[in-house]
Amino acid sequence: MKECVLETSITNDIVVNVQREITRLCIECGLLLLQHGAESMLVEQLTTRLGIALGASQVDSAISSNSLVLTTIIDGRCLTSTRRIIDRGINMHVVTEVQHAVILVEHHLLDRKQLKKKLASIKPLRYPRWLMVLMVGLSCACFSQLNGGGWESALITFIASSCAMYIRQVLTSHQMNPLINFCITAFVATSVSGLLLKIPYFVLTETISMAASVLLLVPGFPLINAVADMFKGHVNTGLARWAMASLLTLSTCIGVVLAMVVWNLREWA
């Protein structure tokens, strides 16, 4: 009788440990997705698929703007875990790698231990700073061209947006608050473009360059995710993302207006 009780206790401990590991893997998957810009519905679907593939009968999750709560159910036992979300910046490489890992588990190509190593090995893909500065400068210059600006306007836009992107990356590397980061970056972009327009050679240049130079600060991805979340039922998370995107836009506007006031720039007005 004692041996039966002991065996049952050991079996229960093993099941609980397995469920705890499954829960931990599921919430780690959700955290990686949320920290790097994935929409809430994708997080909910992937964590559920992963939990079921690992042996859970049901996986439920609750997503908010700064936390993730996840519950797994195995043989009638519920286990809940909560984690705080820390923004790591938008990075679709991480999101793609997590999706790939979930698919491998579903096809029984990864077990729990291999999945744990796989998730731990996922690192954000970072492009070289010079390449980001160059491509952002070129994209803003192209927008200036598409909106009626000449080659002089494109040149000013390229210089201003490249300087702004460099400043933005430096501030980001120092863990600067995003709102302050956007304000300073907008100030730099507007200042450089506005002061270049005051040079006699560029007096007749189109002022579209001042607007085009701050396009790198448009929070397009957060706004898209906000709308997607609200349309798919995650209204609270969507509203939180919408509010953050609106604050980033407001910070950009403050930076632009501040530069116009400090340097007395009337070209854009």
Radius of gyration, CA atoms only, the chain: 25
198 versus 2: the higher-pLDDT residue is 198
DSSP 73: E
Q: How confident is the model at residue 5 (pLDDT cuts 50, 70, 90)?
A: very low
Average pLDDT, the chain: 90
Query: Six-digit token pair at 208?
Result: 């579209």
For tokens 């790591």, the residue is: 88
Give start and end residues of each alpha helix (H) in 36-149: 40-54, 92-106, 112-121, 129-146
20-39 pLDDT, tens digit each: 999 999 999 999 999 999 99
pLDDT at 1 over 60: no
Q: What is the pLDDT of residue 269?
A: 52
Please tell me the predicted confidence (pLDDT) of residue 110. 93
Percent of residues, the chain, with pLDDT higher than 90? 75
Q: Per-residue pLDDT averaged across 175-204, rounded? A: 91
pLDDT tens digits along 119-162: 999 999 889 999 999 999 999 999 999 988 889 999 999 999 99
Please give the residue that has the higher pLDDT: either 186 or 267: 186
- Work out the burial of residue 263: count CB atoms within 10 Å of its CB; fewer than 13 is exposed, 13-18 middle, 19 or more buried: middle
Query: For residues 62 and 56, what is the distance between their CA atoms, to the nearest angstrom?
Result: 17
Specify the pLDDT at position 6.
43
Closest CA to 48 of 26, 67, 19: 26
Q: What is the pLDDT of residues 35-84, one digit of tens each?
A: 999 999 999 999 999 999 999 999 999 998 889 999 999 988 999 999 99
Stretch 108-118: mean pLDDT: 94
Q: Cβ atoms within 10 A of the Cβ of 207, count?
A: 18
Instruction: Give the confidence band of 9 by pLDDT, cuts at 50, 70, 90.
Output: low
* Vertex 156: Cα angle to 150 and 162 (nearest 5): 130
Going by pLDDT thresholds of 50, 70 and 90, the confidence category of residue 14 is confident
Report whether pLDDT(111) > 60: yes
Predicted pLDDT at 267: 59
232 pLDDT above the threshold of 50: yes
The more confident residue out of 260 and 269 is 260
